[in-house]
Amino acid sequence: MKKKQKVLVTGSAGFIGHHVVMALQEAQSEVVGLDIINDYYDPILKYNRLNEQGFDKSLIEYGTCISSAKTPSCQFVLLDLTDKVALEKLFQEQQFDLVVHLAAQAGVLYSLENPMAYVESNLVGFSNMLEACRQHPVKHFLFASSSSVYGQNVEIPFATHHRTDHPISFYAATKKANEVMAHSYAHLYGIPTTGMRFFTVYGPWGRPDMACYQFARCIAEGHTIRLYNQGNMWRDFTYIDDVVAAVMKLLTRAPKITKKKRATEAPFRLYNIGNNQPVQLLEMVALLERGLRKKANIDLLPMQPGDVPVTYADVESLVTATGYRPRTTLEVGIGKFLYWFEAYYTALPIEKAA
């Protein structure tokens, strides 16, 4: 019988990480989720995601793997990626085959206030992950990048061969640094590596600081929505199920070293994971209004530092590599998000959100 491959998912209490773990559970994979559960946003939401995965909050203890009551082949460990000793111990004990590295300090605006949080998580933590994968070789290292790396790029749709050397937020700069760091390890040590540039992911269990969730709460609670650039903002909204489907397909497609006439190409690939269909933020607000049966209070403001007016993913390389094209329309995705959103605040599995 073929041995199951063991998968590490970092950021497993986060939005995308949670859904990836759930997909791996459904596939009956052997998986270890890792998260530090910081307070960048309400930790209750993170614990509720873990509850969905089958983990009891009362059993969580730093550095100790616990098993899921729902799926015994799934474990969770509370661990800080800047804790190199603990991370080394985890890799030594678990001997991972595959790594999906989604843990990071997220958020463009927060990087203006607290850049050191991004240094610790996105640079130091990322370096520790690369080194762990070098010391304990894995078959494939996948990591989360971001559409933010395109910065001041004016060519649309954004393609992975476009230049990304003009980031306009420190968050974007750390994500660009991750790509360069990962490429160097792929080249030097032959680690098969895939970077995934996510485009405005939304859906059930989403992050409260992102537009979809934030606007829904503002409408539901009667608060004002701030729309920058006078509302003339376009985003390539990507539904979470499409993101997870792409991640699962890429997981089994590790890049290989390729020979060229004058050089050897590292086993490293970058892919955009987006819907390939930008939508104006005002249109998303209108869909939320319709779904929540309530009008929004909107404040139109000038462009804010670190932001870009348009994101638009060219996904042809993803389609070529996997045969998969994200396809969920915003109308369908918002409907699914609101179905979860309206239920979440009336029947939480652990405790009422603040």
Catalytic pick from 40, 110, 150, 171?
171
Which tokens is 59 given?
A: 């059993």
CA distance 135 to 121: 20
Q: Rounded to 5, what percent of the chain is helix, strand, coil? A: 40, 20, 40
Do the Cβ atoms of 284 and 215 come closer than 8 Å?
yes
Q: Could you say which DSSP state residue 105 is in?
A: -
Diameter of the chain by CA atoms?
62
User: Do residues 54 and 71 lie in contact, with contact meaning Cβ atoms separated by under 8 Å?
Assistant: yes
Cα→Cα distances 110→113, 114, 236, 306, Å? 5, 6, 21, 10
User: Which H helix or E strand runs over 48?
Assistant: helix 43-53
Closest CA to 156 of 319, 314, 320: 314
How many Å from the N-terminal Cα to the C-terminal Cα in the chain? 48
Write the single-letter amino acid at 325.
R
Element (H, E) at 23: helix 15-26
CA 284 to chain centre: 21
DSSP string, 218-262: HHHHTPEEEESGGG--EE--EEHHHHHHHHHHHHT-----EE-SS
For the chain, what is the total number of helices (H) and then of strands (E)? 12, 16
Q: Produce one character per residue of 278-295: b if its CB has 16 or more CB atoms within 10 Å, e if not.
A: bbebbebbebbbebbeee
Please provide the DSSP assignment of 279-339 as one string.
EEHHHHHHHHHHHHTSPPEEEE-PPPTT--SB--B--HHHHHHHS------HHHHHHHHHH
Distance between CA atoms of 325 and 306, rounded to whole angstroms? 29
Known active-site residue 171: yes
Q: Give the catalytic positions in this structure.
A: 171
